[in-house]
A and B are shown apart, each in its own frame.
Chain A
Amino acid sequence: DPKIIQKPKYLVAVTGSEKILICEQYLGHNAMYWYRQSAKKPLEFMFSYSYQKLMDNQTASSRFQPQSSKKNHLDLQITALKPDDSATYFCASSQERLSSAETLYFGSGTRLTVL
């Protein structure tokens, strides 16, 4: 059974709309992350959360807002969608964020297409 669940697997949106990407992890981890993978680009770090608090934010746009309602949840709200936002968004988790030695485990991703 998958330990990091991302919903939906595929998402199609129109330009200007708003979507929420869901992520739940059942690994008992305290740190969660969002990464983005665009066509022909390496995986890019977006956010990291530790104990439901934002620790790092590498996104240039405020249109991307992570939301953590529970310790094992980290959703990603994207507003005013643009075609350039089309990508696969991966949620990840690790036991603790404070240690760089921690290994990240990834969900299966949400593939977002903005028309």
Chain B
Amino acid sequence: AQKVTQTQTSISVMEKTTVTMDCVYETQDSSYFLFWYKQTASGEIVFLIRQDSYKKENATVGHYSLNFQKPKSSIGLIITATQIEDSAVYFCAMREGYNQGKLIFGQGTKLSIKP
């Protein structure tokens, strides 16, 4: 059965620093897709970045990048030059190759950026 786990409940860092959020997943499928979303204080869920399991290169979008370690079933989110507005809850999610309809989410990590 597929599962996504985020063990960090909350993280607090200073503005303009780099933060890494952890995520591990379980799947029996050889093809899968990993996503990171953030949920703002207003409740809005925003897509950030995606990693396809067959790609060796780590995805990068703006100041978001991923640390994809396939042998460890790990997909960390790295945010560089953090800003106050990056404060949010970050969710890791996975979609298996055969199970097209279902996106499985982790429990979320609350990120607080201090000025």
Contacts and interface: CB of A to CB of B under 8 A. Distances in A.
Interface of A: 31, 33, 35, 41-45, 48, 55-56, 58, 88, 90, 97-106, 108-109, 111
A98 B100 contact: yes
B33 A100 contact: yes
Contacts of B101: 31, 33, 45, 48, 55-56, 97
Contacts, number: 67
A96 to B, nearest CB: 9
A42 B105 contact: yes
A90 B45 contact: yes
Contact of B100 (A42, A88, A100): A100
Given A58-B102, A90-B45, A106-B45, A100 B107 contact: no
24 contacts: A33-B101, A33-B103, A43-B93, A48-B102, A55-B101, A88-B43, A98-B100, A99-B100, A100-B31, A100-B32, A100-B33, A100-B98, A100-B100, A101-B33, A101-B52, A103-B35, A103-B50, A104-B103, A105-B47, A106-B37, A106-B46, A108-B43, A109-B43, A109-B45
